Amino acid sequence: MDRYLLIVSTVCFLVAIAHTILEMRGGIFRPMQFNFFAVGLGFIFQTAFLSIRGHALGRCPITNLFEVIVFVAWSVALFYMVVGPAYRLSLMGAFTAPLVVLLQLFALWAPIDKAHPGRLPANSWLEFHASISLIAYGAFALACIAGVMYLVQERQLKTHQLHSIFYHLPPLTDLFAAITRLLWWGFTLYTFGLISGFFVGEPLPWIQIMCAIGVWLLYGLILQGRYLRWFAPKRVAALCIIGFSAALTLLWGITFTAQTHTP
Amino acid sequence: MNLFCVGLSHHNTDVEARECFAGHVESDRALRNCGCNEALVLSTCNRVEVYAAAENMVPTEQIARCLARTDTIEVNGHFEAFYRYEAGDCVRHLFRVASGLDSMVVGETEILGQTKKAYEAARTAGAAGRHLHRLFQRAFRVAKQVRTHTEITRGAVSVGSVAVDLAQRIFGDLRNCSVLVLGAGETSERTARALVSRGVADLRVSNRSPERAETVALSVNGRAVAFDQWLEQCGEVDILITSTSSDVPLLSQEKLAPLLRQRIDRPLFIIDIAVPRDVASDVNALDGVYLYDIDSLQSIAEQSLATRREQIAVAEEIISQHVAEFDQMIANGLNRAERTPEHPPIGENSLRASEL
């Protein structure tokens, strides 16, 4: 039953993508109305799915890779809802929706929704650690999307080839400000997640810990480089994409090892 | 009651012909002198038109005479240039005019404001009755719909406005931007003025002639900078407009790169409108530098115009739907109109009410 909610949610995000493509083909795009509504509706269905799952499990619904992916997609949509209107980045919907759809379609298609053998014991530190880290992933994902938008905008300005999308993307400096804020949000939440990981009271594989610290250091380096002017905004935007790819690989590794090493 | 339009526009006359008829007569006078039941004069720099409703046929020449400033042979010679649209054609023409489709620069929005002003003047003078009221309210609604459902107004179509538009795409709010104008030519001065009108407060002018720099700086509310200091200023400003008469490029990658190290996180937008160019083209390869010369600005302006032209078909479709609906309403004897007040004010509320 709860999977149907996820399917409806995916359809909402797909509608947002289809609308964007149709509008752009016609050379018209009004980002503030339809996309925000479609993404908002998709977010409501995502929340309903996670809520039902959470009640059934009696804990935060991040017990297998399927739930983890949906949780990341939910946090991406959450940040979009929060950051979008504030930074006038509603076109993020055009970039957010494809990412969410990719994540959710994969989660629905792949045979990864396997119930955990035996009921997992409640561990509030572990749940806090996992959920806060995944929300940080949402911020990193949006920073990655804003990075893509920055590079698209930058490329058009450099080559003097201004396409329809150029007129609907936010100004470069606004995008860079949004990237910086999202990086700060993500980095702060990820730091809390990392620290809380030491209180879970369970032994964790050292490779996971090293990789998690590696991702933390990478984002720390991006922020440091941004403030010490080591990197131009274009490089910061590119590093956001690299950073998120690394973070996703780590997340995959964590959930994969968690599932294969469960007794 | 017949609806019709008689007029002259930039399509078929030059400014010399139009000025013989422009801005001379008010709607109420046109109404009295021409034998129309309702009349409205729309006079802009590109057109002089009378929209009217009359029980009987009013000859075009009679309207033209009424609009003429003088009764000379020269003026009488222009009478033949007047076009005339009746009923549905008149409705279509007004919808196209209000939507900017008939303008010299397709998609310009100033015409809508001018049309609203003309309607307001006719309404105040009592020259616009229920026929013109319904016609113009519908025209405003069509123009709004065309503007929101097509990209007919998208992009800038002149060199100066393209430069300002690009600056906004890079920096967003221009109020915190600083601008250096290097070489006080006419185009650079005009571009600087456009930037000031969008909120730029910190404007610096540098020229080989300090007097000229002072004069231009005063006129744009900026400050003059000594010509031997302009390069240092490039490390501080956000926008550089160059238009000197130098035969060789003044700014190269080697000169600019060291200055950018201090400002790596802030873009530098360079508008080079000098011919020959003041800035070497390889400067564009530097991180965070966006160099546009006169050709690239002109090409973007042309691109915008082409996009606007592509949108004409979509706009015409919207207009056709409204013309058909309006014709139907006319055929039904304006029954709906009779239930509405005759002369509502033209404010936003009245527009919304009429749309509902």
The CA distances from residue B56 to A199, B36, B243, B330, in Å, are 93, 8, 60, 17
**Pairwise CA distance, residues B232 & B259, whole Å:** 7
Please give the pLDDT value at position A8. 94
Please give the pLDDT value at position A29. 54
Calculate mean pLDDT across residues B1-30.
81
Residues in chain B whose beta carbon is closer than 8 A to a beta carbon of chain A?
148-151, 154-155, 166, 168-172, 261, 264-267, 284, 287-288, 290, 292, 296, 299-300, 303, 307, 310-311, 314
Closest-CA residue of A relative to B285 is: A158
Asked if B166 lies within 8 A of A157 by C-beta distance, the reply is: yes
**Pairwise CA distance, residues B282 & B253, whole Å:** 6
pLDDT beyond 50 at B355: no
Please give the pLDDT value at position B337. 46
Asked if B265 lies within 8 A of A234 by C-beta distance, the reply is: no
More confident residue, B50 or B1: B50
Percentage of chain A modeled with pLDDT above 70: 86
Taking phi over 0 as left and psi of -120 to 50 as alpha, with beta for the rest, A111 belongs to beta
Rounded to a whole number of angstroms, the distance from the CA of B165 to the nearest CA of chain A is 10
Look over chain A and give the mean of its residue pLDDT values, rounded to a whole number. 83
- pLDDT tens-digit profile of B306-315? 888 888 888 9
Please give the pLDDT value at position A246. 85
Asked if A232 lies within 8 A of B310 by C-beta distance, the reply is: no
- pLDDT tens-digit profile of A95-146? 788 889 999 999 999 887 877 666 666 677 888 888 888 889 888 988 998 8
Please give the pLDDT value at position A218. 92
Rounded to a whole number of angstroms, the distance from the CA of B189 to the nearest CA of chain A is 23
Residue among A262, A119, A247, A120 at smallest CA distance from A194: A247
Calculate mean pLDDT across residues B257-266.
86
Calculate mean pLDDT across residues B264-274.
90
Asked if B267 lies within 8 A of A27 by C-beta distance, the reply is: no
**Pairwise CA distance, residues A49 & B187, whole Å:** 60
- pLDDT tens-digit profile of B115-137? 999 999 888 888 888 888 999 99
Calculate mean pLDDT across residues B295-311.
85
- pLDDT tens-digit profile of A42-55? 999 999 999 998 88
**Which residues are within 8 A (CB) of B276 and not within 5 positions of it... i.e. 6 or more apart?**
B246, B247, B248, B249
**Pairwise CA distance, residues A137 & A239, whole Å:** 15
Please give the pLDDT value at position B167. 93
**Pairwise CA distance, residues B206 & B228, whole Å:** 9
pLDDT band per the 50, 70, 90 thresholds, residue B343? very low
For residue B206, what are the β-bridge partners?
B182, B225
- pLDDT tens-digit profile of A158-188? 999 888 778 778 889 988 988 998 999 999 9
**Pairwise CA distance, residues A5 & A73, whole Å:** 14
Interface predicted TM-score (ipTM) over 0.90: no
Chain A positions in Cβ-Cβ contact with residue B261 (cut-off 8 Å): 229
**Mutation target vs A (from B165, B170, B311; most A CBs, 10 A cutoff):** B170
Percentage of chain B modeled with pLDDT above 90: 30
For residue B293, what are the β-bridge partners?
B272
Please give the pLDDT value at position A261. 54
pLDDT beyond 70 at A60: yes
Residue among A113, A101, A240, A94 at smallest CA distance from A178: A240
**Pairwise CA distance, residues B26 & B67, whole Å:** 9
Please give the pLDDT value at position A110. 87
- pLDDT tens-digit profile of B152-210? 887 777 788 888 889 999 998 899 899 999 987 777 888 888 888 888 989 999 999 99
Please give the pLDDT value at position B341. 47
Q: Nearest by CB to A27, which of B168, B303, B311?
A: B311
- pLDDT tens-digit profile of A224-236? 998 888 888 999 9
The CA distances from residue B268 to A156, A234, B180, B345, in Å, are 15, 13, 11, 48
- Mean pLDDT lowest among A31-40, B69-78, B227-236, B295-304: B69-78
**Mutation target vs A (from B269, B287, B293, B309; most A CBs, 10 A cutoff):** B287
Please give the pLDDT value at position A92. 67
More confident residue, A91 or A156: A156
**Side chain identity at residue B308, one-letter code:** R
- Mean pLDDT lowest among A75-84, A116-125, A140-149, B88-97: A116-125
Rounded to a whole number of angstroms, the distance from the CA of B341 to the nearest CA of chain A is 34
More confident residue, A62 or A221: A221
Residue A133: its H or E element: helix A124-159
User: Looking at the annotation, which residues of B are catalytic?
Assistant: 45
Please write down the HEC assignment for all residues of chain B: CEEEEEEEECCCCCHHHHCCCCCCCCHHHHHHHHCCCEEEEEECCCEEEEEEEECCCCCHHHHHHHHCCCCCHHHHCCHHHCEEEEHHHHHHHHHHHHCCCCCCCCCCCHHHHHHHHHHHHHHHHCCCCHHHHHHHHHHHHHHHHHHHHCCCCCCCCCHHHHHHHHHHHHHCCHHHCEEEEECCCHHHHHHHHHHHHCCCCEEEEECCCHHHHHHHHHHCCCEEECHHHHHHHCCCCCEEEECCCCCCCCECHHHHHHHHHHHCCCCEEEEECCCCCCECHHHHHCCCEEEEEHHHHHHHHHHHHHHHHHCHHHHHHHHHHHHHHHHHHHHCCCHHHHCCCCCCCCCHHHHHHHHC
Please give the pLDDT value at position B356. 28
Asked if B170 lies within 8 A of A27 by C-beta distance, the reply is: no
pLDDT band per the 50, 70, 90 thresholds, residue B349? very low
Please give the pLDDT value at position B254. 93
Calculate mean pLDDT across residues B66-91.
80
Cis? peptide before B258, omega within 30° of 0:
no
Please give the pLDDT value at position A32. 60
Please give the pLDDT value at position B352. 36
- Mean pLDDT lowest among A187-191, A196-200, A222-226, B19-23: B19-23
Q: Nearest by CB to B172, which of A27, A30, A173?
A: A173
pLDDT beyond 90 at A223: yes
Q: Nearest by CB to B265, which of A26, A174, A233?
A: A233
The CA distances from residue B201 to A172, B16, B221, B230, B330, in Å, are 20, 40, 8, 18, 53
